[in-house]
Amino acid sequence: MTSDTSFRHPNIRLYNPAEFSPSIHWSEHQYVPHNFKGDVRRLYDYELMYVYSGTMTVAFEDMSEPIRYEAGDLLILAPALRHSIHLNSQSDSLVHLLGIHFDLYDELDITIDRDMVVSEEEVHPERFCYWPVHEGEDRLPVFARCYRSIPPDIVQAMEEIADEHKLKKPGHQVACRGYMLIILTAISRLQQDNKRNAAAFYRDQLLELVHDMQNQIHLPYPNATLAAQLNVSEDHFIRLFKMTFALSPQQFLQHIRHQSAKRLLRETKQSIQQIGEQVGYEDIHNFSHVFKKWQGVSPREYRNTHSIL
């Protein structure tokens, strides 16, 4: 967890989570070219950005070195903070991100997407959302800029927001607010986990394994085979993986398969059996059982209520 101690926000508010009433302005999965380089920008609102695959570096106006974000990491961008984002990957594959723009106190009305980004030719300081800080002379910010290997419940809540915001069913604003409150609570409870430092030596190798799993999710990945790639015992490998990604290797594999299956059910007309095979399940009954365990409904029921075709 990397703290933000030097940036001084123009609009601050003492931290009181009971006052949070977040509204969602934009939420979307993004598949971006691996060599994307963004311009310097500022936001009027906040942005959460989760990295599924690939890496990105973010340069901040008040830091001499950029922060590097890898698969499993979460970025929180503060309002008014100048920054630029550069994406990169070990291959030519797209970098997969999930972004959410929001405010904390239901304070900003967004008419079109570009209202979230500051036009330096016409700045409106009164539109910068409030930034919560702790009491004390230093007024330290509540939220860090980088959270490493965040727990899967935060990612799941972000994915629910993306679904609700995209489908815009009745009551989606209330549902999004509820999920965002869950996310904010979970983030505020995150503490630096020193045990995860034990996995630092293997981090690059683990990230490479995860990259392979995300790009070829249909293949089997026995723990013994994965452990052999790191030249460690199977039990030690499972501990290292959980320290880094908060899930066991097989739980992680089921999670990325489930997310891919949801996308295919929503966005394609492939049969359920074809989708199951594409994400690694040769038996349609096994696929349906695992999907319902994760989602609470069968693949067919999910498609009937979430398809965008």
Number of domains in the chain: 2
Q: Does 151 or 44 have the greater pLDDT score?
A: 44
Q: What is the 3-state secondary structure (H, E, C) of 278-296?
A: HCCCCCHHHHHHHHHHHHC
- Domain assignment present for 2: no
pLDDT of 249 strictly over 80: yes
Considering the domain architecture, whether residues 42 and 149 belong to the same structural domain is answered as: yes
Average pLDDT over residues 206-224: 90
CA angle 140, 52, 144 (to 5 degrees): 0
Considering the domain architecture, whether residues 260 and 232 belong to the same structural domain is answered as: yes
Considering the domain architecture, whether residues 54 and 168 belong to the same structural domain is answered as: yes
Considering the domain architecture, whether residues 162 and 201 belong to the same structural domain is answered as: no
> Domain range spanning residue 291?
195-306
CB proximity list for 145: less than 8 A, separation 6 or greater: 2, 3, 4, 58, 60, 67, 75, 76, 77, 78
pLDDT confidence of residue 90: 62
Domain at 275, CATH number: 1.10.10.60
Considering the domain architecture, whether residues 150 and 210 belong to the same structural domain is answered as: no
Statement: the pTM of the whole predicted model exceeds 0.85:
no
CA angle 69, 17, 118 (to 5 degrees): 55
Boundary residue ending a domain (145, 170, 189)? 189
Looking at the chain, the whole-number percentage of residues with pLDDT higher than 90 is 56
Average pLDDT over residues 116-140: 89
- Domain assignment present for 7: no
- Domain assignment present for 106: yes
The backbone torsions φ and ψ at residue 150, rounded to the nearest 5 degrees and listed phi first, read: -70, 155
Give the residues across from 43 on adjacent strands: 117
Q: Which two tokens stand for residue 233?
A: 């015992």
Considering the domain architecture, whether residues 167 and 225 belong to the same structural domain is answered as: no
pLDDT in tens, 69-122: 988 899 999 999 999 999 876 666 788 899 999 999 999 988 888 889 999 999
Q: How many CB atoms lie within 10 A of CB 152?
A: 14
Looking at the chain, the whole-number percentage of residues with pLDDT higher than 70 is 93
Instruction: Please answer whether residues 152 and 255 qualify as being in contact, where contact means their C-beta atoms are separated by less than 8 angstroms.
Output: yes
pLDDT in tens, 28-64: 999 888 788 889 999 999 999 999 888 899 999 988 8
